[in-house]
Amino acid sequence: MKASGLEHYDISLLYVEDERVTREQVSRILQRIVTELHVAENGQEGLKLYQEKRPDIILTDIMMPVMDGLEMCREIRRLDRESQLIMLTAHSDTEYLLECISLGVNQYVQKPVDFVQLASSIETCSNYVLLKRKIVRQEARIQMLSQAVEQAPAPVIITSLNGSIEYVNAMFSRLTGYDPEEVLGRNPRLLKSELTPPDLYAELWRTITSGNEWKGELANKHKNGSIYWETVKISPLRGSDGAITGFLKVSQDITDRKLYEENLHYLGTHDPLTGLYNRAYFDAELQRLEAGREYPVSVVIADLDGLKDVNDNQGHDAGDRMIKGAAEVLLAAFRASDVVARIGGDEFSVLLPRTDHEAVTAAIQRLRTNERDSRLGFFARYLSIGAATAKEAQELHNTIKNADRLMYADKTRRRTSRKNIPQIPL
């Protein structure tokens, strides 16, 4: 800030001078240049003030009673090698020049006091002090930031521009099982699991190298081989010139949430007893097919005969075994892509996209031939089955009714030919 033609500095200065007139005159000028001014009349007084106030800059005369300027500066240097010393020298003092040099005096100002030279010397010393202050602040800030990153509750990775790991924090090691020395210099791909889609890393890399932030979820692999999920934010790091120098990845472990969600999703869409899809999932798939183009769609309705008898006479455990057996029969008869669902207590439905009537009939035929096989055959014998095929979406609703009607026809036919239900096998 300029004040009456003089630059002002936010620093403290100690001025030591024995000649009263000079001291008063120079002090008046100094008061306008520096924020904090301390004035002493000799070296001893100056040293005492220095110890008390620790000023940034010391401006001192050489020839003084009690303790001269050189001796005072020698003491000050002992206390602080970095303090800025400005020496006021008259021509007669040149014999002290060598001593001044050995003390590392920073600036010299001619006596009688050359004010232009004085202002310029204070400017040079002040700039040094202010720069040093800034560096100290930056160092403290860096220290604070690095501690914050090291102790952060989130895993952090810093990589170079080519992606090799330069830094990982403590949480990274806790999440991944890798100690820093095991991963430094390596590519974060070492954490990649088979669950990561092949082109995801390519997309991620494209995004961050073009200077943008990438956010997403990754399924990564712990050192012990187990999978963990994380939400990830990767940002480019830039140098003072704006060029990308590396990348910062901060993540959050969401494995528990993922497992919980998967479990919720599973419970919401599956029958807990058989593991088949439940009615809600079946209805949703039906809606999807009504809007879709996967025709012909075949529908199979299957009903377990005699479940009530089994429950009443052999207990509910036997009934449950019977339901599970029926589910196995159906799963074995249809493709993995078909939707095999348990709709009610003894009721099952199957949706077969892109399946014509011939194909679904063949599948049921195979199921029936199971009747000769020991285990699946036993349960297959108690399934009444009807199947129908929709050639287009409009027919789907009626197709389900037809399959249901055919299932009842099958049940009636089988009832006349079947004996009592034997003991349900364990």
Site for Mg ion, rule CB under 5 A: 18, 61, 63
The partner residues of 5 in beta bridges, in order of sequence, read none
419: left (phi over 0), alpha (psi -120 to 50) or beta: beta
Q: How far is the CB of 12 from Mg ion (least distance, A)?
A: 23
- In order of 15, 39, 99, 189, the CA distances from 36 in angstroms are 11, 10, 28, 57
Please state the closest distance from residue 125 (CB atom) to Mg ion, in A.
21
**Other Cβ atoms closer than 10 A to 199:** 9
Chain centroid, CA 17 distance in Å: 62
For the chain, give the longest Cα–Cα distance.
Answer: 136
Instruction: Tell me if 208 sits within 8 A of 176, measured CB to CB.
Output: no
Closest distance between Mg ion and the C-beta of residue 82, in Å? 26
Q: What is the DSSP letter of 163?
A: -
**Nearer CB in complex with Mg ion: 90/264:** 90
For the bound state, the minimum distance from the C-beta of residue 111 to Mg ion, rounded and expressed in Å, comes to 8
With respect to Mg ion, which residue has the nearer C-beta, 6 or 63?
63
Q: Which is nearer to Mg ion, 50 or 379 (CB)?
A: 50
Q: Least distance to Mg ion from the beta carbon of 1, Å?
A: 32
Q: Which residues contact 182 (CB under 8 A, 6 or more apart)?
A: 223
φ, ψ of residue 351 in degrees (nearest 5)? -105, 130
Q: What letters, b where the CB count within 10 A reaches 16 and e where it falls short, cover 233-264?
A: ebebeeeeeeeeebbbbbbbbbbeebeeeeee
> Which residue, 63 or 200, has its beta carbon nearer to Mg ion?
63
**Tell me, what DSSP letter sits at residue 334?**
S
**Tokens read off for 206:** 């494209």
Residues 143 and 375: their CA atoms lie apart, in Å, by 70
Q: Which is nearer to Mg ion, 25 or 124 (CB)?
A: 25
**Least spacing, CB of residue 30 vs Mg ion, in Å:** 17
Tell me the residue number closest to Mg ion, measured at CB: 63
Instruction: For the CB of residue 112, give the shortest distance to Mg ion in the complex, in Å.
Output: 12
Paired strand residues for 232: 216, 251
- Which of 61, 253 has the CB closer to Mg ion? 61
Nearer to Mg ion, 37 or 63 (CB): 63
Query: Based on CB atoms, which residue is closest to Mg ion, 69 or 353?
Result: 69
